[in-house]
Amino acid sequence: MSEQTMTAPATAPAGGPPVLQAVHVTKHFPARGGLPRRGVARRVVHAVEDVSLDLYAGRITALVGESGSGKSTLARLLAQLHPVTSGEVLLHGKPVRAQRGRAFREHVRAVQLILQDPFGSFNPVATIAGTLGRAVALHHPERKGKERAALVEDLLTQINLTPPRQFAEKFPHELSGGQLQRISIARALAAEPEVFLADEPVSSLDVSIRLGVLNLLRRLTEERNAAMLYVTHDIASARYFAADTAVMYAGQLVEQGPSEAVTQQAAHPYTQLLISSAPDPSRPAGSRVRDIGQPPSLIDPPAGCRFHPRCPFAMERCATTVPDSHEISPGHTTRCWLYADDAEARAKRAENAAATGKAGTAGGTGPADPPPTPA
Ligand SMILES: Nc1ncnc2c1ncn2[C@@H]1O[C@H](COP(=O)(O)OP(=O)(O)OP(=O)(O)O)[C@@H](O)[C@H]1O
């Protein structure tokens, strides 16, 4: 497969048990600034609130939302880089709580994070062979000398930087952003992970090379039957790259399910807004969903559904009670009161359908459309 052609998303059936799970995970950070005052509870940032998400072997799940919605925090909780405030992270069904020791090291090996900015994560005075050699030494201490060098060359070949010797002796500043992002993927591969957490892996890269890096990630996921979380702002790329999509708003998951369903029959007004805000030349003029505000402060988030102050279809209950999860079609769920089974919700739902019309679709009208350029 050419790396410049976007093919159908990795869709290994989600039949087996999840590899990695967030179960009712919440993360509060102490708010920066201001001194604690006697008798006044310390203010916290409600970065992630009661989020449950499953990742499956051989399957890519996109986590979509605007800046500050808690996507990176969730990825870091799954990687055990932050302790959870409540809830659990499970690897193969077993809770992971250790922040040090053998269980922690095993988690860090099995679950590898790939970050947005490849430049920031390399030692500028180490060659690529030195950087990858350290990763090999960490995860395969038995491989020494020539064996270690051979493994470094093999890693470079797997990420299509060939001939490997030509790249091994280079320093980070001698490589392009795309080449360095490939090296960070190779460094993650050295651990033979079961899960990749790719946090906006292409958004800092030149538009022309994004597709190549995404297709490399997909090939590696498929070949290794690894699970992948693909964190992105770009809901249109999620449809083409990921089998499943989860949408996050202000720390809460508002919709999730098969990417095709989430992007073509978006149920939550926030998902509809995200889709209608994404560039899409095929969308008729005037079909945008009306946006009536900004994301809330996470220090003092709105009660109920956090989207309600911005939602044109909000009802009274939306301001007081966190919505239940409603199943729209098999595996496609949303936390939105529009899908409750009562007269008021039905009327609002009809209003929503009339207002959005075709606006609940992303990236065009069918699988034959050309892939969008990933952001
Ligand atoms: N270590 C921290 N201490 C305090 N607040 C934090 C910390 N890390 C993240 N936050 C806050 O948590 C919220 C969620 O941030 P997060 O980076 O997870 O969002 P995001 O969706 O990944 O955004 P972006 O796409 O811009 O990276 C933000 O309000 C952020 O300021």
Kindly list the domain boundaries of the chain, sorted by start residue: 20-30+44-233, 259-281+301-360
Mutate to test the pocket of ligand 1, among 25, 44, 45 (most ligand atoms within 8 A of CB): 45
Tell how strand 227-232 and strand 195-199 pair up: parallel
At the topology level, CATH places domain 20-30+44-233 in: Rossmann fold (3.40.50)
If phi > 0 it is left, if psi is from -120 to 50 it is alpha, else beta; for residue 87 that is: left
SS3 string, the chain, reads CCCCCCCCCCECCCCCCCCEEEEEEEEEEECCCCCCCCCCCCCEEEEEEEEEEEECCCEEEEEECCCCCCHHHHHHHHCCCCCCCEEEEEECCEECCCCCHHHHHHHHHHEEEECCCCHHHCCCCCCHHHHHHHHHHHHCCCCCHHHHHHHHHHHHHHCCCCCHHHHHCCCHHHCCHHHHHHHHHHHHHCCCCCEEEEECCCCCCCHHHHHHHHHHHHHHHHHHCCEEEEEECCHHHHHHHCCEEEEEECCEEEEEEEHHHHHHCCCCHHHHHHHHHCCCCCCCCCCCCCCCCCCCCCCCCCCCCCCHHHCCCCCHHHHCCCCCEEEEECCEEEECHHHCCCHHHHHHHHHHHHHHHHHHCCCCCCCCCCCCCCC
Ramachandran angles phi, psi of 107, nearest 5°: -65, -45
CB of 311 closer than 6 angstroms to any ligand 1 atom? no
Sheet holding 332-335, edge to edge: 111-114, 195-199, 227-232, 60-64, 244-249, 252-258, 332-335, 325-329
Instruction: State whether the beta carbon of 232 lies less than 6 angstroms from ligand 1.
Output: no
pLDDT tens sequence for the chain (375 residues): 455 555 556 555 566 899 999 999 999 999 876 566 665 667 899 999 999 999 999 999 999 999 999 999 999 999 999 999 999 999 999 888 777 778 888 898 999 999 888 778 888 999 999 999 999 999 998 888 898 999 999 999 999 998 998 899 999 999 998 999 999 999 999 999 999 999 999 888 888 888 999 999 999 999 999 999 999 999 989 988 999 999 999 999 999 999 999 999 999 999 999 998 876 655 555 555 566 578 888 998 999 999 999 999 999 999 999 999 999 999 999 999 999 999 999 999 999 999 887 544 454 433 334 445 565
- Nearest atom (ligand 1) to Cα of 31: 4
Cα of 67 vs centre of ligand 1, distance in Å, is: 8
pLDDT at 208: 83
CB 157 within 8 A of CB 166: no
CA of 55 to the centre of ligand 1 (A): 22
CA distance 180 to 209: 12
Q: What is the pLDDT of residue 286?
A: 55
Tell me the β-bridge partners of 197: 113, 229
HSE-CB at 165 with a 13 A cutoff on CA atoms is: 0
β-partners of residue 113 are 197
pLDDT at 217: 94
Q: Please determine, for the modelled complex, whether the ipTM score is greater than 0.90.
A: yes
Determine which residue's CA is closest to atom 7 belonging to ligand 1: 29
Candidate from 51, 71, 230 with most ligand 1 atoms within 8 A of CB, to mutate:
71
Q: Is the CB of 71 under 6 A from ligand 1?
A: yes
The CA 83 to ligand 1 mean position distance, Å, reads 15
Closest-CA residue to 270 (of 231, 320, 319, 305): 305
Task: Give the Å distance between the CA of 44 and the centre of ligand 1.
Answer: 12
Nearest to 78 by CA among 231, 186, 291, 219: 231
Question: Distance of alpha carbon 36 from its chain centroid, rounded?
Answer: 34
Pocket test for ligand 1, best of 27, 29, 66 (most atoms within 8 A of CB): 29
Using CA atoms, how far residue 156 sits from 32, 137, 187, in Å, is: 41, 16, 9
Question: Whose alpha carbon is nearest atom 5 of ligand 1?
Answer: 29
With tokens 């946006």, the residue in question is: 291
**If you measure from the C-alpha of residue 68 to the centroid of ligand 1, how many angstroms do you get, rounded to a whole number?**
5
Residue having the nearest C-alpha atom to atom 11 of ligand 1: 47
Query: Distance of CA 374 to CAs 72, 111, 210, 236, 279, Å?
Result: 18, 24, 6, 8, 11
Which atom of ligand 1 lies closest to the CA of 48? 14
Centre of ligand 1 from the C-alpha of residue 5, in Å: 33
Atom from ligand 1 closest to the CA of residue 251 = 14
Which two structure tokens, joined as six digits, stand for 277? Answer: 């805000």
Closest ligand 1 atom to the C-alpha of 298? 29
47 lines ligand 1 (CB under 6 A): yes
